Amino acid sequence: MRPRPGEVLHFSEDPAITVFRPHVAATARQPEAYVWAVDDVRAPDYWFPRQCPRAMAWTVPGTSEDDRERILGPGGGERVHAIEYGWVKRFLSAELFAYRLPAAAFRPFGEPVPHAHVAIEPVEPLGPAEPVGDLLELHREAGIQLRVLDSLWEFWDAVIGSTLGFSGIRLGNAAPRQPG
């Protein structure tokens, strides 16, 4: 599920949203109220149940061959997403919906590389919510390796210390770090 030209997407488990109103997200690091959406590049970051913790890594122009092999590994392609075993059933059974929104109402958000698009006024979807479908199949079709781990933390620590691009979402919901 990707946006078409002139669109951004908002993913939700609620299929009945008629207007997106700016709000301060519970996980926000800034005080401003926004409507949040993503573009084609960041859409795969949201092919998960909302509360599912996930660690994601992908190649960027400065990625070293060592990091690519060490973290993405053979068969890892250009991008790997990781979740924990405790989330697999919810991931496989999730009913996720995408809302297509007019890109003109949004501006890129995030530095140095934007990771989202935000609007400061209410935004109406361009149409009804669309079922996203099989999340595992979306990953396969996009060539994104999905890893299932006991804990995200060892993978996450390797990723953030590497030359790969990365994103961690809802990591506060991940299993606690193990001592040692």
Provide the pLDDT for residue 180: 66
In a domain, 55, yes or no: yes
Burial of residue 156, with CB atoms counted within 10 A of its CB: 0-12 exposed, 13-18 middle, 19 or more buried: buried
Q: Round to whole Å and give the CA distance between 121 and 119.
A: 6
Query: Buried (b) or exposed (e) across 99-110, using 16+ Cβ within 10 A?
Result: bbbebebbeebe
Residue 179 confidence (pLDDT): 80
Burial (CB < 10 A; 0-12, 13-18, 19+), residue 121, is exposed
Q: How far is CA 82 from CA 5, 23, 30, 65, 73, in A?
A: 29, 29, 27, 20, 13
Residue 15 tokens read as 């299929």
Is 180 contained in some domain? no
Q: Cα torsion for 87, 161, 169, 85, to the nearest 10°?
A: 0
How far apart are alpha carbons 165 and 159 in whole angstroms?
A: 8
Confirm whether 179 is domain-assigned: no
> 12: which 2 tokens?
């939700």
State how many domains the chain has.
1
Task: State the residue range of the domain holding 128.
Answer: 7-173
Domain assignment present for residue 36? The answer is yes
Residue in 43, 45, 23 with CA at minimum distance from that of residue 35: 23
- The beta-strand segments (E) located in the chain are 7-12, 35-37, 54-58, 79-84, 97-102, 107-109, 116-119, 130-131, 145-149, 165-169
Give the global pTM.
0.91
pLDDT string in tens for the chain (180-residue length): 899 999 999 999 999 999 999 999 877 778 899 999 999 999 999 999 999 999 999 999 999 999 999 999 987 689 999 999 999 999 999 999 999 999 999 999 988 788 899 999 999 999 999 999 999 999 999 999 999 999 999 999 999 999 999 999 999 999 999 886
**103: three-class secondary structure by DSSP:** helix
Query: Domain for residue 2, yes or no?
Result: no
